[in-house]
Amino acid sequence: MELKLSFPADSPPLAVIAAAKIAGVPISTDPTLTPGSTPIIHLDNGLKLRGNFVLLRHISRVANIPDLYQRDAIESSQIDEWLEYAPIFASGSQFEEACGYVDGYLLQHTFLVGHSLSIADIAVWSGLAGTGKRWESLRSSKKYQNLARWFNSILAEFGVLNEVTTTYVGKKGSVKPTASKVNEQQGSNANLAKVNGDAADKEKESRKPTSEVDLPEAEVGKVRLRFAPEPSGYLHIGHSKAALLNQYFAERYQGEVIIRFDDTNPDKESNEFVDNLLKDIETLGIKYRTVTYTSDYFPQLMEMAEKLIREGKAYVDDTPREQMQKERMDGIESRCRNNSVEENLKLWKEMIAGSERGTMCCVRGKLDMQDPNKSVRDPVYYRCNQTPHHRIGAKYKVYPTYDFACPFVDAFEGITHALRSSEYHDRNDQYYWIQTDMGFRKVHIYEFSRLNLVYTLLSKRKLLWFVQNGLVEGWDDPRFPTVQGIVRRGLKIEALIQFILEQGASKNLNLMEWDKLWATNKKIIDPVCPRHTAVIEERRVLLTLSNGPDDPFVRIVPKHKKYAGAGEKATTYTKRIWIDYDDAVSISVNEEVTLMDWGNAIVKEIQKDQEGNVTHLSGILHLEGSVKTTKLKLTWLPESDELVKLSVVDFDYLITKKKLEEDENFVDVVNPCTRKETPALGDSNMRNLQRGDVLQLERKGYFRCDVPFLRPQKPIVLFAIPDGKQQPVLRFAVPDGKTK
């Protein structure tokens, strides 16, 4: 049902129009009301709704997108608060103050309310967009980075907003009148965010970004996608790209995603993997309609296999596997290819029974053994396997291959578009051929490039080798490219999502550096993570300040000087303090240095042992000295029993080669030293760290707490988080450090 929206030509209700565009609510516009009039929606029954907020709430209630407004009592009230706040952006004198307020709020929030888009986001977004060049100049600057990130992400997700701003926002920075109706067609003009390529190429004939891609023959509201991992390992960063792209297209076309476990190989699969894959999917924020299993369709798949055998489109083959592989490569037809239907059905029953004769056989599709594309040279459809299935036990002795099951279940479940990485390109013909033989409609395939990263293995078989050989702690090891592994290392999911979506749905193959991902992560954690102090325990040096406080005293200082939300910490000041050995050897006699968060000091004496190692420093406080004149800014800790023990852990890549060649054995390039632990001392405030907390050790980097404080003799374990800079790994290693 189309709504009619009337408004004054000089003040179109930008938020209402934007909400309708995003929500898939068709409207016609009538910009003929007298200036100063309240916008009106005319309903079919003759009733009228008036006022921006009333119209926004109405659109949210008839929207195709859930939860735009109708949430629990608290979140709905929070949305109301933001709706009342949004008009402040139209006030010239308060504009930048409002930008600063929302920018600060968005430091720790992806959306204004809850964890998904609401009309609060649309109202504030429209308030900013409506100021035109004033906001555009700030958006391109670095003044309000969180606000710009949020604004850009909404524009990227709902490219149709470009049409709204083009039509209604004037070049001089105010909402402009329009004399023509807006094209309200939904979906066909939705734009994929421009995340690759040159901004100069942005304009095309259709006003689409150059990187925009469309799903073939996609209809808004009718797109159904599936993310179909095999439960034979944990979700890794490559799978994450597939999952997030499925969600992206589902949201863009107002469709849905289902999660399907491709559980056709009982030798590799387990409930542990199912449970953890669901956990990882939840971590990524993937919204799905339902969870299914290929094993749900085993009866139908067996019926289909028998149907194809009866139709002469499949046959049973007892050729030994190695010989079969060679014949496929050479284009030689199997001697079983022309067996009678009766003989094939007889052997098929032997396979189902799991008899000795049956286990020698497999079912193959009768496609084309001379096709240059080897994937269509009579692929295997079914094999015998006596291993009990993790869900259904020992009920079946035959299992379908992925090549057979995938096109069947995709069609059976009503999938409209199957997203597959380009490594499967040669199997697309096979997929379509099998679907045709089965008598199903065509499911469209959309290819995207596989995510490849330097020094990284993404094969689950190879990752399993590391687990089984004890070279890592498990699938959540921080050296692993699994979602659980990189999150345990200290990566924020927001950074992973941003990193993947910036690549878009491109089909271009490339080898990505980890540095970009970790640099994105740093931008998220640096503005908010608390600062603490640590000193490497080995060969630490005592600095005695002769005029320092005889009685230690405590000051309460912020954990982050630019972000009050990080909280406060207690810093103890004493006349005897610890500094790192590397700092001690950098100091000269009578040199003035800065003790961070205290002031300057002058080192008067340096004591060394017989081997020339610095063992003690003596000096005086010189608090009136200027910190601008000192070369060395030193972190320090008080000599105190309250210090906590730390184990600072740094990691290297699991392999030593940037990219493996196809015929190269990864075992030959396994890195023998990928983990080093360095004992350190930390400030007493670190007793309050919780597992998963991210912090910065000043002058040492960013860390994630993996094991919190339990008792004085057990160290807090901190994992070093890369910051995206090219730097030596294992930088905290010491000669006697523990390695693995």
Strands annotated E in 297-421: 314-317, 362-365, 380-384, 398-400, 417-421
Nearest to 351 by CA among 391, 322, 377, 314: 314
Residue 447 belongs to what H/E stretch? strand 444-448
Q: Give the Cβ contact number of residue 673 at 10 Å.
A: 11
Distance of CA 379 to the CA centre of its chain: 35
E strand intervals along 407-552 = 417-421, 444-448, 452-453, 511-512, 531-532, 534-536, 541-545
Owner of token pair 């009578």: 590
The beta strands (E) that lie in 539-613 are given as 541-545, 553-558, 568-573, 576-579, 592-595, 599-608
Instruction: Please give the helix or strand (H or E) that residue 682 lies within, else none.
Output: strand 675-682
Spell out the residues 6+ positions from residue 579 whose beta carbon is closer than 8 angstroms to its own: 535, 540, 541, 543, 617, 634, 635, 636
The answer to whether the beta carbons of residues 399 and 265 sit under 8 Å apart is yes
Helix (H) or strand (E) holding 705: strand 701-707
Write b or e for each residue in 102-132: b if 16 or more Cβ atoms lie within 10 A of its Cβ, otherwise e: bbbebeeebebbbebbbbbbbbbbbbbbbbb
- Phi first, then psi, for residue 524 (nearest 5°) are -85, -40
For residue 641, the one-letter residue type is D
Q: What dihedral angle (degrees, nearest 10) is formed by the CA atoms of 692, 697, 702, 706?
A: -30
DSSP 337: T
Radius of gyration of the chain (CA): 32
The C-alpha angle 171, 138, 121, rounded to 5 degrees, equals: 85
Which tokens in the block code for residue 593?
């240095």
Tokens representing 159 are 């490219």
Q: How far is CA 105 from the centre of its chain?
A: 22
Can you tell me the distance from the alpha carbon of 633 to that of 625, in angstroms, rounded to the nearest whole number?
Answer: 13
CB–CB of 372/379 below 8 Å? no
Contact 649, 717 (CB under 8 A): yes
CB atoms closer than 10 angstroms to residue 245? 21
Question: What count of other Cβ atoms lies within 10 Å of the Cβ of residue 592?
Answer: 18
Q: For 311-353, where are the alpha helices, taking DSSP H only?
A: 321-330, 341-353
Q: What is the set of active-site residues? A: 230, 450, 460
Distance separating alpha carbons of residues 724 and 248, to the nearest angstrom:
26
Q: Which amino acid is at 408?
A: F
CA distances from 731 to 520, 673, 726, 735 (A): 21, 13, 12, 12
**Which distant-in-sequence residues (6+ apart) come within 8 Å of 466 by Cβ?**
472, 477, 480, 654
Q: Could you tell me if 127 and 119 are in contact, meaning their C-beta atoms sit under 8 angstroms apart?
A: no
